[in-house]
Amino acid sequence: MNKQDLAMSYFNRIPDGRRYAIARPYDPSVDRALRDIINKANKNGDCIIDVGNGYYRPIPGNAIEEKEFKEYIGHNDSKALDILVKHTCMREAFESKRKEIGYAKQQAERKAGRA
């Protein structure tokens, strides 16, 4: 069985409710494939989370599962914000470097023109 098929077999066993949550695969490549499958599923109408106790689909109305769902979403919101801040800072640094290079070229041209 290849890694993708093994990851799909894990995916097909993800239960409703945390009581029977399944552990992440030990093989990192299978785990990566499973996380990719879950990511696609969550973008297409599914709701699968893992807050350290394994993968499961939280059930609305279950206080513990609702709390874990909110924890999961909050963690992802925080990661998304961190990435946006990082990208904003990187864009600013890149544009500053562009301006520095342009200024240095301009100074070199002026100096060459005066010589």
Tell me the pLDDT tens digit for each residue of 8-17.
999 999 999 9
In this predicted structure, the answer to whether residue 114 has a pLDDT above a threshold of 80 is: no
Please give the structure tokens belonging to residue 62. Answer: 């279950």
Element (H, E) at 4: helix 3-11
Q: What is the mean pLDDT of residues 86-112?
A: 94
Q: What is the pLDDT of residues 15-46, one digit of tens each?
A: 999 999 999 999 999 999 999 999 999 999 99
Tokens representing 108 are 């070199």
Q: Which range (56-70, 77-91, 100-114) has the least confidence?
A: 100-114
Question: Band of the pLDDT at 111, cuts 50, 70, 90?
Answer: confident
28-43 vs 3-11: helix crossing angle, rounded to 10 = 50
pTM for this prediction: 0.79
